[in-house]
Amino acid sequence: MQLRSGRRHGPARPPAPGGQRRHGRPPRCPEAAGGGGVEEDRISSLPDDLILAVLVRLGCVEEAALTSVLARRWRGLWTQLPELVFVDWTCLKLRSIEAALAQVTRPALDSLCIALELDGEAGGRVSSLLRDVGERLSPKEVSIFLQGMVEGEDINLPCFRTTTYLDLCQNGVDLALPPPGSKFEALTQLVLDAWTISFADLIPMCPSLRHLDVTDLMFGEVTVHSTSLEKLNVTSAKGEDGLWLFDISAPLLKEASFDIKAVPDLSVSFAAPMVKKFSWSCEFDFEDDDIDAVGLPCMRLSSLDYSMRRGVRQLCLRIVYLASSNEAGDFTSKRGGERSSAQDYQVLGKMWV
């Protein structure tokens, strides 16, 4: 049987021929051999730092805490873990995480990961938990996944002043930024998933930011003005409305990648004189009655892909068309002699430059 750790659990192996000891089993110490056959507990005799390194590799605070039943020596060791991961197969409840964090004794964490399932809890209660984490535990790396719903006020995102890496994912949960003038002073890498807050308000709070990664963007504009940013990745969420504003000003930016969905009248401003690696993929979001927004009648620019790597530039335009019917505003295409709906656009061709 395969265990979660990857080891296999099965019947015991047969004894070695001649009564010889098989390799892999530690020898019994002389004192134990003459005193009732009790073997030495070598694991518990290890230093705390080494045991903590073992517990960290369990990948979950809950499993690390369960090791307290192994021996008195292990009791409470999990509260000194340098890395705390509150993630199971499903998100954990707020009360469980609050109870566990209250027992943590380590003054500063290397890493903290929380996946929180919210079921109508007060937003202020979640805000208090996050604020306590930032002030009391001073984590260097923070990953927070929030899903569900809260009652009352939005969840306030605190300034994690000692955090260099921050990963935020909000699934149906609204976050409020810290007050104007607040700073994420040490933050160098920021990862945002399903983000719904204006970048124009967030980025100025990160004076040392070098890497910004945005996935499943759910906001209509991207405004990034940063004097420290060196790498930028932005991906729009599938099924969401297209972007209408794209404004980038980053004098130190060296690498940028964009995979976005945009409205036909997208406004773009891109100022990055130091960029060396660039990729742009844009799919335009058209209404059925907006056939002439980009391109000729019955023809439109569906997507634009541009890339630059090692001085080589490549541009690809994807054109689609519809054949108009006898009624204005009703466009159809022929397929096998039968008319189909206007949503069945056909690819006219691709042009590479």
The more confidently predicted of residues 12 and 49 is 49
Q: What is the mean pLDDT of residues 1-8?
A: 42
144-184: pLDDT as tens digits: 998 888 888 888 999 999 999 999 998 878 888 998 889 99
CA 131, CA 149: separation in Å to the nearest integer?
Answer: 19
CA nearest neighbour of 283 among 320, 232, 329 = 320
31 in any annotated domain: no
For the chain, how many structural domains are there in total?
2
13 in any annotated domain: no
pLDDT attached to residue 31? 46
- What interhelical angle do 94-102 and 123-132 show, nearest 10? 30
The more confidently predicted of residues 309 and 115 is 115
Domain boundary among 270, 288, 306: 288
Domain boundary among 236, 270, 288: 288
205-255: pLDDT as tens digits: 999 999 999 988 878 889 999 999 999 999 987 767 788 898 999 999 999
Domain boundary among 258, 288, 318: 288
272 in any annotated domain: yes
pLDDT attached to residue 38? 55
**Cβ atoms of residues 50 and 76 within 8 Å:** no
Burial class (CB in 10 A: 0-12, 13-18, 19+), 199: buried
327 in any annotated domain: yes
Question: Are 353 and 214 within one domain?
Answer: no
21 in any annotated domain: no
pLDDT attached to residue 30? 47
215 in any annotated domain: yes
Question: Are 241 and 341 within one domain?
Answer: no
- Phi/psi of residue 199, each to 5°? -70, -25
> How would you classify residue 207: left for phi > 0, otherwise alpha for psi between -120 and 50, otherwise beta?
alpha
pLDDT attached to residue 3? 39
The 3 state secondary structure assigned to the chain is: CECCCCCECCCCCCCCHHHCCCCCCCCCCHHHHCCCCCCCCCCCCCCHHHHHHHHHCCCCHHHHHHHHHCCHHHCCHHHHCCEEEECCCCCEEHHHHHHHHHCCCCCCCCEEEEEEEEEEEEHHHHHHHHHHHHHHHCCCEEEEEEEEEEECCCEECCCCCCCCEEEEEEECCCEECCCCCCCCCCCCEEEEECCCCCHHHHHHHCCCCCEEEEEEECCCEEEEECCCCCEEEEEECCCCCCEEEEEEECCCCCEEEEEEEEEEEEEEEEECCCCCEEEEEEEECCCCCCCCCCCCCCEEEEEEEEEEECCEEEEEEEEEECEECCCCCCEEEEECCEEECCCCCEEEEEEEC
pLDDT at residue 293 above 80? no
pLDDT attached to residue 4? 41
The more confidently predicted of residues 203 and 23 is 203
The more confidently predicted of residues 27 and 195 is 195
pLDDT attached to residue 185? 94
Q: What is the mean pLDDT of residues 247-276?
A: 91
CA 37 to chain CA centroid, Å, is: 52
Question: Are 296 and 208 within one domain?
Answer: no
If pLDDT is split at 50, 70 and 90, which confidence band does 15 have? very low
pLDDT attached to residue 25? 47
Question: Are 253 and 303 within one domain?
Answer: no
pLDDT at residue 277 above 60? yes
If pLDDT is split at 50, 70 and 90, which confidence band does 27 have? very low
Q: What is the mean pLDDT of residues 317-328?
A: 55
Question: Are 128 and 170 within one domain?
Answer: yes
Q: What is the mean pLDDT of residues 131-143?
A: 93
The more confidently predicted of residues 97 and 9 is 97
Question: Are 270 and 297 within one domain?
Answer: no
Q: What is the mean pLDDT of residues 129-139?
A: 93
pLDDT attached to residue 223? 92
333 in any annotated domain: yes
Beta pairing partners, 147: 117, 171
Q: Which amino acid is at 174?
A: D
The more confidently predicted of residues 199 and 202 is 202
Question: Are 157 and 254 within one domain?
Answer: yes
- What's the chain's average pLDDT? 76
pLDDT at residue 265 above 70? yes
Q: Which amino acid is at 110?
A: D
pLDDT at residue 28 above 60? no
Question: Are 134 and 277 within one domain?
Answer: yes
Question: Are 191 and 238 within one domain?
Answer: yes
Show the domain range for 51: 44-288
Share of the chain above pLDDT 70, in %: 72
Whole-model pTM: value is: 0.72
Q: Which amino acid is at 52?
A: L
Query: What's the residue count for the chain?
Result: 353
Question: Are 97 and 127 within one domain?
Answer: yes
Question: Are 283 and 293 within one domain?
Answer: no
Question: Are 277 and 297 within one domain?
Answer: no
36-66: pLDDT as tens digits: 555 666 776 778 888 888 888 877 787 777 7
pLDDT attached to residue 318? 74
CA 344, CA 331: separation in Å to the nearest integer?
Answer: 10
pLDDT at residue 74 above 70? yes
If pLDDT is split at 50, 70 and 90, which confidence band does 298 have? low
Q: What is the mean pLDDT of residues 259-270?
A: 87
23 in any annotated domain: no
Instruction: Count CB atoms within 10 A of the CB of residue 352.
Output: 8
